[in-house]
Amino acid sequence: MYGVWTPEQVRAAEEPVLARTPEGALMRRAARGVAQVALAELERRTGGIAGRRVVVLAGAGNNGGDGLWAGYELRRRGVAVTAVLLSPDKAHPAGLAALGRQKGRVVTAVEHGVSAVDRADLVLDAIVGTGARGGLRPGAATLAAAAATARVPVLAVDTPSGVDPLTGVAADEAVRAARTVTFGARKPVHVLAAPRCGPVTLVDIGLGPELPPAPITVLEDADVAARWPVPGPFDDKYTQGVVGIAAGSRTYPGAAVLASGAAALATSGMVRYAGSAADEVRAAWPEIVATDTVGEAGRVQAWVVGPGLGTDDAGAQTLADVLDAGLPVLADADAVTLLGQHAELRERARETPVLVTPHAGEFGRIAELTDDRVDSARRAAADLGLTVLLKGNATIVAAPDGRVLVHPAGSAWLATAGSGDVLSGVAGALLAAGLDPWWAGGCAALVHARAAEIGAGAQEGPGSPVPASHVQRALPAAIRQVREAR
């Protein structure tokens, strides 16, 4: 796992390091890191370095300074560097002087910048970094668009300009980077807007000892592998945790089949189903014990409730029964809507460990969703006293005690009907196996996204659409792949 820190925390950590290092040393180190990645990128894309053309889009602040100093390093290796100054009077003086000493070319008119970008092998986006306010200004936007139109790869310095470093919200004209080099610590943008950043390289500038505990955690395969429930020689079907699924209805039996089947594939042990789609579940999954009601279901260690349940009185009663069982509960889909509608269900949900898994629309029924998705999820978890998994290309899991993890999906193929039902079955099975809701949500999100990648064939090539039943089918392969990281 690794940590992510806010721009404000990174700035605060920089202060003491800046104070005890010679002036400009930190920026030089950052710039050397950028140059190194740029050189590797040139070599990989063009087979050489000397004479290759790099354009530095340099803004007014220290981010522009990083870019100009990186341009200086690249000139020393024989690269043809053109710097486009977006605010000529505010360009970083030392960086600009250094580039001048190496006979780097400097232009200030946007149209000259555009023609340089058109012929470039690589563009360095040093327009703005963590000091960014709002979207790109017109000149910067024109240059970013020119790089996109000419299909020139962009290496973002610290953060892709035009994307909010804290929230990852991107204006249309924002830079879409092929790669990003960041300094000191990863920032939220790198995981909340991962597709805008490309692969991220972290350059150490000595901030480590100055950083507070990370406010955001990102899980990696090894973390999930270490917690994924695996039977031991003395286990039987009961000892590994039995999960109950209260989902589906006569109108939506598919949700029941997707959630129960996913639970059966996620862990060994046992799955019980309770609801009006019992026949369909039995037909698809003969190993699942299916009954018509929660009362008849027998003992379980956790409940999944909600997918395809309906939001009528019967649905509300099922949710109430499940919450009153005093067991961990995964509440998804209609259960989220019901929690939004009934204050007394929200009160009952405080009394038992609950993982609630809304998409953005459902989230709005239980709490306020702002552009700052991490902050919204963290507040909702604290206010409601339950763990919130907010779905999206970057999934956020926030526990009431303040822990937050983000899982950036490797692809967007999960944006398909029924994929949420699969996630609920996986996470519910992990709750039954004894994982706390935060870990259950994080581990399920990672494996679920991996199953979509595998199902879509996105690890071997560009991929193709993958319906939810195929995501479900790819779960065993995803679990095996993740467990290999042990």
Ligand X SMILES: NC(=O)C1=CN([C@@H]2O[C@H](COP(=O)(O)OP(=O)(O)OC[C@H]3O[C@@H](n4cnc5c(N)ncnc54)[C@H](O)[C@@H]3O)[C@@H](O)[C@H]2O)[C@@H](O)CC1
Task: Please give the annotated binding residues, written as ranges.
Answer: 62-66, 125, 129-135, 158, 161, 255, 308, 359, 391-395, 420-421
The residue (of 130 and 311) whose beta carbon lies closer to ligand X is 130
Q: How many residues bind K ion (CB under 5 A)?
A: 4
Please, what is the minimum distance in Å from the beta carbon of residue 400 to K ion?
35
Q: Which of ligand X, K ion, none binds 57 (CB below 5-8 Å, type-dependent)?
A: none
State yes or no: residue 143 binds K ion (CB under 5 A). no
Q: Which of ligand X, K ion, none binds 17 (CB below 5-8 Å, type-dependent)?
A: none
The residue (of 27 and 219) whose beta carbon lies closer to ligand X is 27
Q: Which of K ion, ligand X, none binds 397 (CB below 5-8 Å, type-dependent)?
A: none
CB 124 within 8 A of CB 34: yes
CB 179 within 8 A of CB 156: yes
Please, what is the minimum distance in Å from the beta carbon of residue 145 to ligand X?
14
Rounded Cα distance, 188 and 5, in Å = 7
Rounded Cα distance, 181 and 125, in Å = 10
Please, what is the minimum distance in Å from the beta carbon of residue 21 to ligand X?
9
Q: Which of K ion, ligand X, none binds 134 (CB below 5-8 Å, type-dependent)?
A: ligand X
Count of Cβ atoms closer than 10 Å to residue 145 Cβ: 16
Q: Which residues contact 432 (CB under 8 A, 6 or more apart)?
A: 241, 242, 243, 267, 269, 300, 301, 302, 328
Residue for token pair 């050489």:
48
Residue for token pair 């070319």:
105
Q: Which of K ion, ligand X, none binds 478 (CB below 5-8 Å, type-dependent)?
A: none
Q: By the criterion CB under 6 A, which residues form the site for ligand X?
A: 14, 18, 26-27, 30, 59-64, 66, 90, 128-137, 140, 157-158, 183, 205
State yes or no: residue 125 binds K ion (CB under 5 A). yes
Please, what is the minimum distance in Å from the beta carbon of residue 157 to K ion?
5
The residue (of 128 and 316) whose beta carbon lies closer to K ion is 128
Q: Which of ligand X, K ion, none binds 130 (CB below 5-8 Å, type-dependent)?
A: ligand X
- Main-chain phi, psi angles of 4, to 5 degrees: -130, 135
The residue (of 109 and 226) whose beta carbon lies closer to ligand X is 109
Tell me the window of 3-11, 14-22, 154-162, 408-416 that interacts with K ion (CB under 5 A). 154-162
Q: Which of K ion, ligand X, none binds 125 (CB below 5-8 Å, type-dependent)?
A: K ion
| 3-state SS, residue 383 | helix
CA atoms within 13 A on the CB side of 135: 11
In this structure, what token pair is assigned to residue 82?
């053109």
State yes or no: residue 157 binds K ion (CB under 5 A). yes
Q: Which of ligand X, K ion, none binds 140 (CB below 5-8 Å, type-dependent)?
A: ligand X
Dihedral angle over CA of 174, 180, 184, 186, nearest 10? 70
Binding-site annotation, residues for (6S)-NADPHX: 62-66, 129-135, 158, 255, 308, 359, 421
The residue (of 133 and 151) whose beta carbon lies closer to ligand X is 133
State yes or no: residue 42 binds K ion (CB under 5 A). no
Rounded Cα distance, 122 and 426, in Å = 43
Rounded Cα distance, 37 and 78, in Å = 15
Rounded Cα distance, 85 and 91, in Å = 7
CB 290 within 8 A of CB 273: yes
> How far is the CA of 63 from the CAs of 67, 125, 126, 184, 194, in angstroms?
6, 9, 5, 14, 20
Please, what is the minimum distance in Å from the beta carbon of residue 172 to K ion?
17
Q: Which of ligand X, K ion, none binds 441 (CB below 5-8 Å, type-dependent)?
A: none
Count of Cβ atoms closer than 10 Å to residue 52 Cβ: 23
The residue (of 170 and 225) whose beta carbon lies closer to ligand X is 170
Please, what is the minimum distance in Å from the beta carbon of residue 257 to ligand X?
49
The residue (of 127 and 369) whose beta carbon lies closer to ligand X is 127
The residue (of 26 and 475) whose beta carbon lies closer to K ion is 26
The residue (of 104 and 160) whose beta carbon lies closer to ligand X is 160
> How far is the CA of 115 from the CAs of 112, 118, 177, 364, in angstroms?
5, 5, 19, 46
State yes or no: residue 362 binds K ion (CB under 5 A). no
Binding-site annotation, residues for K(+): 63, 125, 161
Q: Which residues on adjacent β-strands are paired with residue 302?
A: 243
**Among candidates 321, 366, 144, 334, which has minimal Cα distance to 255?**
334
CA atoms within 13 A on the CB side of 84: 29
Please, what is the minimum distance in Å from the beta carbon of residue 1 to ligand X?
24
State yes or no: residue 161 binds K ion (CB under 5 A). yes
Please, what is the minimum distance in Å from the beta carbon of residue 214 to ligand X?
18
List contacts with K ion (CB under 5 A): 125, 129, 157, 161
